[in-house]
Every structure is written in C-alpha cells, then in structure tokens.
Amino acid sequence: DASLAFPQATPASKFPPCEELAVRNKVRECMEKEIAPIMPKYWEKAEFPFHVIPKFAALCIAGGTIKGYGCPGLSITGTAICAAETARVDVSCSTFILVHSCLGMLTIALFGSEAQKQKYLPSLAQFNTVSCFGLTEPEHGSDASTLETTASQVPGGYILNGQKRWIGNATFANLLIIFARNATTNQINGYIVKKDAPGLTATKIENKIALRIVQNGDILLKKVFVPDEDRLPGLNSFQDLNKVLAVSRLMVAWQPIGVSMGVYDMCHRYLKERTQFGAPLAAFQINQQKLVQMLGNIQAMMLVGWRLCKLCDKGKMTMGHVSLGKSWITARARETVALGRELLGGNGILSDFLVAKAFCDVEAIYSYEGTYDINSLVTGREVTGFACFKPGA
C-alpha cells in the first residue's frame, strides 16, 4: 500500500560512526519495512502482533540506558530517539517497548537487588519475558500517590490486595511490577509479581479509540502472595518512584515528536502526489502554510526534547523541566497531527492511512504519564512554590 511507504532513511554508511545515528537508522529501517505495513490491520482489530516481538529483540534496544545485564547501555538521547522512531510509525509499538523497557525494566534496574537484576534483566532485555508497570488504580489516576493497593507482611513474604487500571502489556506480561502500600508502615513499595501467581487476574480494557494495539488491562490482586525476594528493596516511597517517572516522562515526551515526524512525512508526499484543480495539492498556498507550521512545530519540539536529554545527562533535569517538556511537546503534536489530518482530506479519517491512527494515538499520549494539566501543575509548583493539586490546599 503506497500510503504506508515512508521516505527511505539515509543509509547508515553515509553517516560518520555515531551511536545515536546508528540506532536511529536501525530502528527506522525495522519500523518502516517490518512494522508499518501490518499496523493498520492490528490497530483495526485491537490485537497485539506477537510475532513482531523477535524483531524488536533483534534491535537490542530494550533496557535503554541500563548498562550490563544484557542491556544496551544507550545514551539518554539514543533511548529517546528509539521512542521517537518507533512512534513515527506506530505509537502502540512504541508504548509497548517503553512500558517494558523504561518503566518495568528501569524500575528493576534502579531499585532491584543485585540478585533480582541478574535474575530478571537479561531475559527482559531479549524480550524473552515482558514486563508491565502497575501504578494507576481505578480510583487513583492523577493522584496515584494515594494508591490503595495493600501489601501485608506474612512469614516469607507479602500478601497483595487491590486493583490496578490501564496497565499497558498487563494481559500478557510475565513480570508485573506492582506498587502497593505497606499495610503496617503506610510506605509505598514495589513488588515483582509473576503472571501465574494465584489470585492475580488481568482483563483487557476494550473499546479504546487510541493505542488500540496496546493491551491495557485491569488487574485484580486477591490475596496474591509475593515472596520476600521479589520485593524491590530500593523502592520505599513515591519520591523513589518519581526517579523512574522522570526518565519515562522524558521518553514519552519524544513519542509525540516521532508521531509528528511520521505525519509530516506522509503529508509531504501526499500533497505532491494528489492533484486537484489541475495542480498538486502542494502547490496551494494554504496547504504549504499548514505543512510549514507542522515543520516549525517539529523543529521546536525536537529542540525542547534534545535540551531535556542534555539536562538529564548532566543530572540537572528536574520534574518541572520534564513535565513542562512533555506537556508542551504533546500539545504541539496535537496541533501538528490535526493539521496533517486536514491536509489528507477524506483520507485523513481512514485508519489505513497513518494520519488518522496518529491523530487518535496522540490523545492517549496527552493523558498518560501525567495529563497535560497535571504536568502543568508540577511545573507550576516548581516555578511558583505553590502546590495547587488539591482544592483548598
């Protein structure tokens, strides 16, 4: 289907040796050749294409910045480029990898014991096992820090009771990272729960209009026993958890950059190919203005994303920085894909063209990893010193 063809990536040999360009080229090539042609079908069916997992494994990107344990030890920018390049073709695939790599695996890498890292990370890095990240609950989305799932200490381990909602990869993940409140100390801790643990059920959330390929699940934990050795010893508060969320938020900020790039490429080609009133659509001033507005947005988004990576590299990125970046970039992506949808006319609402799928998927990015509003309030708190999450607080 010509509508799914992307301009070819510049061959790697034309670039000087550079990790970030090399990773961009390898991910782009895989996404364009192997993934792009099949995604509209899976998006329509809201099914996950399990047969592509080995293709992601071959890219050796799972684990991102994690060094050792079979992980690639990429730079922050290299990891962000993976998020963008996967999202350029399909945000669902990008989200599958991010949840597994930058939430699940990173949590184990940052807070796991040496034994846990050695036991779990090599297999996760190869996608032989898949992880998910269970924070959100039915009654606690934006206020996830007040989560109600409990962990009660018993001889040899903990009993987990509670519910989780919206958890990406939940229906098939082998390792579920579950956050729960210690019933005695009230502390938030993290637990590695196995897929087949008695008392654990994960049910797919149906009828999504965005990220239809991602298998988001409701998780029910009914007296689930987790042995002592599967509690993450380094995670003892929501502040600890924020260390993972800062990095994953930075990676999520690069997804809308990638989506916008994919939509821009599609529109650029479409406008040159389709003729109306005896001229290519690209020859009309209004269309050019829209295309250039998209391009300007993308340039600015990339610069903000790149700046965040550099701050993160230096250990200077605050939650306010990354929240501003994620919310601002996502808002620009919403504008960009909406312009792209207009430019394709009627074809802009067909899911077999990239643009309609991207248009819907951006809505999910706008709301996950902190909604636009919550991220604005995080930055607002940092720049004013006033926290205004809670009315009257």
Task: Find tokens 């032989």 and name the residue.
Answer: 128
Site residues for ligand FAD, 194-233, by CB under 6 A, read 211, 216
Query: Shortest gap between Cβ of 141 and ligand FAD (angstroms)?
Result: 2
Query: Which are the contacts of 146, defined by CB distance < 8 A and separation ≥ 6?
Result: 140
Q: Is 142 in the site for ligand FAD (CB under 6 A)?
A: yes
Consecutive H or E run containing 279: strand 279-280
Q: For the chain, how many residues are written?
A: 393
Q: Are β-strands 150-154 and 175-182 bridged in parallel, bridged antiparallel, or unpaired?
A: parallel
Q: Is 136 in the site for ligand FAD (CB under 6 A)?
A: yes
Q: By CB under 6 A, which span of 1-9, 228-236, 276-284, 366-374 interacts with ligand FAD?
A: 366-374
Q: Is 168 in the site for ligand FAD (CB under 6 A)?
A: yes
Q: By CB under 6 A, which span of 131-139, 155-163, 264-272, 293-301 interacts with ligand FAD?
A: 131-139
Residue 362: closest CA among 256, 216, 213: 256
**3-class state of residue 69 by DSSP:** coil
Q: Are β-strands 175-182 and 188-194 bridged in parallel, bridged antiparallel, or unpaired?
A: antiparallel
Structure tokens at 279: 């001229």
Q: Using CB under 6 A, which of 167, 188, 302, 360 touches ligand FAD?
A: 167
Query: Shortest gap between Cβ of 166 and ligand FAD (angstroms)?
Result: 4
Q: Using CB under 6 A, which of 172, 284, 306, 389 touches ligand FAD?
A: 389
Question: What DSSP string runs through 354-387?
Answer: HHHHHHHHHHHHHHSSS-HHHHHHHHHHHHHS--
CB nearer ligand FAD, residue 176 or residue 343: 176
Q: Is 373 in the site for ligand FAD (CB under 6 A)?
A: yes
CB nearer ligand FAD, residue 33 or residue 243: 243
Cα–Cα distance between 89 and 43 in angstroms, integer?
Answer: 12
Structure tokens at 226: 């987790």
Q: Is 363 in the site for ligand FAD (CB under 6 A)?
A: no
Q: Using CB under 6 A, which of 6, 191, 353, 368 touches ligand FAD?
A: 368
Q: Is 254 in the site for ligand FAD (CB under 6 A)?
A: no
CA-based torsion, 196, 197, 201, 202: positive or negative: negative
CB nearer ligand FAD, residue 45 or residue 272: 45
Binding residues for ligand FAD, rule: CB under 6 A, are 99, 133-136, 141-142, 166-168, 211, 216, 364, 367-368, 370-371, 373-374, 377, 389
